[in-house]
Amino acid sequence: MNAKQYNELFDKLIAKYHIIDSVDQPFENLFDKNTFEHLLYRKNWIDTVQWHYEDIIRLPDIDPNEAIILKRKIDASNQDRTDMVEFIDSYFLDKFKDVKVKDGAKINSETPAWAIDRLSILALKIYHMNEEATRESASDDHRSKCQTKLDVLLEQRVDLSTAIDDLLADFASGEKFVKVYKQMKMYNDEDTNPMLYAKK
C-alpha cells in the first residue's frame, strides 16, 4: 500500500461512520486481522470516534457528570490510539527487518506510524472542513473562509502523503533505518502516576 491508498481507506471509513453518525455505533473491521489494512482501519476508527467525543465534551450545557464519563472515554481512546500506532510501527519493523542498512544511513525524527497518525487526523479535518465549506445554513463568508482552509488541508495531505511514501522508500532501500521507542505514557499507569499509586 501507498499513502494514496491510506487516504482512500480513511475517506471511506469516515464516510461510513457518518451514515449513522454516533459515537455509540458498533464497530466492525472490514479487513482480515492479519492484514495491514486491518490496523489502518482500526486506527482511523479510533480517531473518528474520538473526534466526535471532543465535539461533544465542548457542549456548553453538558452535564458535569456526563463530562467526567466522557473524559474517561477520551483518555481510554488516547491510549488505544497510542497502542495502535505502536502496532503499526511493529508492522514496519517486521517489514523492513531484512533490509541491509547502508553505511551512513540516518534515522528519521518521526516513525512511519506517527506520520500515518497525522494523515488519519488530516482526513478527518478534510471531511469536516468540507462540510463547513458546503453547509447551506452558513453564510457565504463562512463557506469561503472554510474553502480556503480546505484548500490548505488538501495541499497538506499531498505533501504529507509524499513524505510518507519517500520515507518508506528510504527504509526499503536502506537509506534510513527504522527505530521505534515506545511512548511509555505514565499517567495511565498506576505504577508511575503518583495520584494513582498513592491510592493503593
pLDDT tens track for 22-41: 999 999 999 999 999 999 99
What's the confidence (pLDDT) of residue 39?
Answer: 97
How far apart CA 111 and CA 92 sit, in angstroms, is 9
What's the confidence (pLDDT) of residue 152?
Answer: 98
According to DSSP, residue 101 is labeled: P
Q: pLDDT tens-digit profile of 114-138?
A: 999 999 999 999 999 999 999 999 9
Instruction: Report the alpha-carbon angle 14-16-20, nearest 5.
Output: 110
According to DSSP, residue 102 is labeled: P
Residues of the chain with pLDDT under 70: 183-185
Q: Are 71 and 57 in contact (CB under 8 A)?
A: yes
Helix pair angle (112-133, 64-95), 10° resolution? 130
Which of 12, 181, 184 lies closest to 111, judged by CA?
A: 181
What's the confidence (pLDDT) of residue 180?
Answer: 81
How far apart CA 196 and CA 61 sit, in angstroms, is 30
Q: Are 174 and 102 in contact (CB under 8 A)?
A: yes
Burial class (CB in 10 A: 0-12, 13-18, 19+), 37: middle
Q: Are 46 and 83 in contact (CB under 8 A)?
A: no
What's the confidence (pLDDT) of residue 191?
Answer: 80
Where in the chain are the domains? 3-197
Q: Report phi then psi at 163, rounded to 5.
A: -65, -40
How far apart CA 80 and CA 55 sit, in angstroms, is 19
Q: Are 170 and 101 in contact (CB under 8 A)?
A: no
How far apart CA 183 and CA 81 sit, in angstroms, is 11
